Amino acid sequence: MQHPRELLARVFGYGAFRPGQEEIVEAVLAGRDTLAIMPTGGGKSLCFQLPALCREGVTVVISPLIALMRDQVRSLREAGVEAGALTSGNTDEETEEVFRALDEGRLKLLYMAPERLASGNTTALLRRVGTNLIAVDEAHCVSQWGHDFRPDYLRIGELKRALNVPLAAFTATADEETRAEIVTRLFGGEAPATFLRGFDRPNIHLAFAVKDSPRRQILDFAGARKGQSGIVYCATRSKTEVLAQALREAGHVACHYHGGMDAEDRRSVEVRFQQEDGLIVCATIAFGMGIDKPDIRWVAHADLSKSIEAYYQEIGRAGRDGAPAETLTLYGPDDIRLRRSQIDESPAPADRKEADHARLNALLGLAEATGCRRQVLLGYFGETSGPCGNCDICDRPAQVFDATEPVRKALSAVLRTGEWFGAGHLIDILTGNDTAKVREKGHDQLPTFGVGRDLSKTGWGAVFRQMMGRDLLRPDPERFGALRMTEAARPILRGEESITLRRDTVQASARPAVKSL
Ligand code: ADP
Ligand code: ZN
């Protein structure tokens, strides 16, 4: 067997392993079933390519992305490695060449789209050519609840049993539920050696800001980075178009990208982004999988992502070359409402929805963090660390205050009005603003009326947003988004627990009210 470190330098031209890579390579080489969770750009492909070269026989690589398979095959071949792919994108000659190399026992890596597994003779073929390892890229595609579900991934477990060879699965999706699903479906429930490593991307600066004038905020952020390649993620298709236009008017080179465009237009944006320097793409999350540009210098979120995993995957596209990269995520109560209602309105079963709310909560916790953001983020992925020195809170520590009193007042306003109202009306009550609606409902007669005059309307807005962020209040889709108290709030209401909130966002939001884009 060839030594992995020697091949690392000779074939791949790398001086050292990246964090996590060596242990994974060792486990795979030892023939263990392996599940590796690494962030996008962490260097997953090496973890199966290197063992493939060291081991006898063929390694089958299952991947959902034809373009990435072709790229990997091309660069392996350039490095002198016998690799081939069987995908629908092949010419007849390419396919013939793959079969010839297999028959002659030359091929080390055989890439394959999952659809291929549906054909009955694939298992026999793989057995005949001496397959001794199955590598599964984007293993989360086996998760039926996930975004990227590929039904043919469900056949992989069967293939593993039929060939009786080790399997190495790779994914950037770290949440426990998806992990458990991968273990059940790919490994038949037998725990593989699991590696969760290298989640830190220390070169990426993390920052969040309360959304007050989003278009201005994005223009300012991009304006300070003129000429650099960046992505602006938006929650809606129309916003990608509006923002790209605004950026162009501000003198940037910018275009939009979303799933409603035809394939050719999307492809042309992808190619431009890959090739040009300094292009800004305003996109929905349709833009991402398969983008492999190392020098994306910044990623901004004009709207909050749907979960902490999605957030990390999206910002993880920046700075893959290891050079400094910047991020900015805007968020506000509307984002929380939007994401909550998307979860509530999905056809998923109740326990699934609760899990999705929890993943959204994790992201909101990060948005409202009072300490180093990276500590919070890595903590979620199971890593402990000290303050990072490369996030907005490390740059400028958050001021916090004991918000137990205002939070109890807010909860009391919610309960005394029967949990039937949104933040706007509740804040009118708290600040003693006797609007027509307040009078009509008789809410000026409540004991809570006017008890919150010490805080401004925007200050209360920040308190309500943070309460929603902490999941103390949740909009109820069956009550037109009215805020209802959650169980988590009960101890605070009873005076059994106190709560601290960020003061800077309470004050910072004393700027103009939220303007929509
Ligand atoms: P992903 O985990 O997203 O699949 P890749 O395998 O594409 O990531 O690797 C991301 C980048 O890191 C690639 O450009 C690759 O060449 C580079 N890379 C991987 N391992 C190393 C290493 N040990 N040293 C230096 N660069 C590496
Ligand atoms: Zn930090």
Concatenating the DSSP letter of every residue in 80-93 gives: T--EEEE-TT--HH
Query: How far is the C-alpha of 71 from the C-alpha of 146, rounded, in Å?
Result: 25
Are 47 and 168 a contacting pair, CB within 8 Å?
yes
Are 336 and 468 a contacting pair, CB within 8 Å?
yes
Residues 65-85 have a mean pLDDT of: 93
Check if 199 has its Cβ closer than 6 Å to any atom of ligand 1.
no
In a 3-state reduction of DSSP, which class is residue 279? Answer: strand
Q: Which residues contact 351 (CB under 8 A, 6 or more apart)?
A: none
Cα torsion angle, 269, 270, 275, 279, sign? positive
Are 452 and 408 a contacting pair, CB within 8 Å?
no
pLDDT digits (tens, 9 = 90+) for 331-347: 999 999 999 999 999 98
Average pLDDT, the chain: 91
**Does position 511 have pLDDT exceeding 50, yes or no?**
no
Residues 245-256 have a mean pLDDT of: 98
Check if 44 has its Cβ closer than 6 Å to any atom of ligand 1.
yes
Check if 17 has its Cβ closer than 6 Å to any atom of ligand 1.
yes
Of residues 89 and 237, more confidence is placed in 237
CA of 14, closest atom in ligand 1: 24
Query: Tell me, what's the pLDDT at 277?
Result: 92
Query: Tell me, what's the pLDDT at 12?
Result: 92
Taking Cα atoms as reference points, which of 504, 477, 328 lies closest to residue 400? 504
CA of 45, closest atom in ligand 1: 6
Query: How many whole angstroms from 388 Cα to the centroid of ligand 2?
Result: 4
Query: How far is the C-alpha of 359 from the C-alpha of 336, rounded, in Å?
Result: 12
**Does position 509 have pLDDT exceeding 80, yes or no?**
no
Give me the percent of the chain exceeding a pLDDT of 70. Answer: 96
**277, amino acid identity:** D
Query: Tell me, what's the pLDDT at 506?
Result: 60
Q: Whose CA is nearest to atom 12 of ligand 1?
A: 43
Q: How confident is the model at residue 515 (pLDDT cuts 50, 70, 90)?
A: very low
Of residues 135 and 14, more confidence is placed in 135
Tokens describing residue 421: 């109202």
**Does position 514 have pLDDT exceeding 60, yes or no?**
no
Check if 171 has its Cβ closer than 6 Å to any atom of ligand 1.
no
Query: How many whole angstroms from 47 Cα to the centroid of ligand 1?
Result: 10
Q: Whose CA is nearest to atom 24 of ligand 1?
A: 14
Check if 257 has its Cβ closer than 6 Å to any atom of ligand 1.
no
**Does position 287 have pLDDT exceeding 80, yes or no?**
yes
Query: How many whole angstroms from 4 Cα to the centroid of ligand 1?
Result: 16
Q: How confident is the model at residue 198 (pLDDT cuts 50, 70, 90)?
A: low
Of the listed ligands, the closest to the CA of 288 is 1
Query: How far is the C-alpha of 455 from the C-alpha of 83, rounded, in Å?
Result: 66
H/E run at residue 363:
helix 350-367
Residues 146-173 have a mean pLDDT of: 92
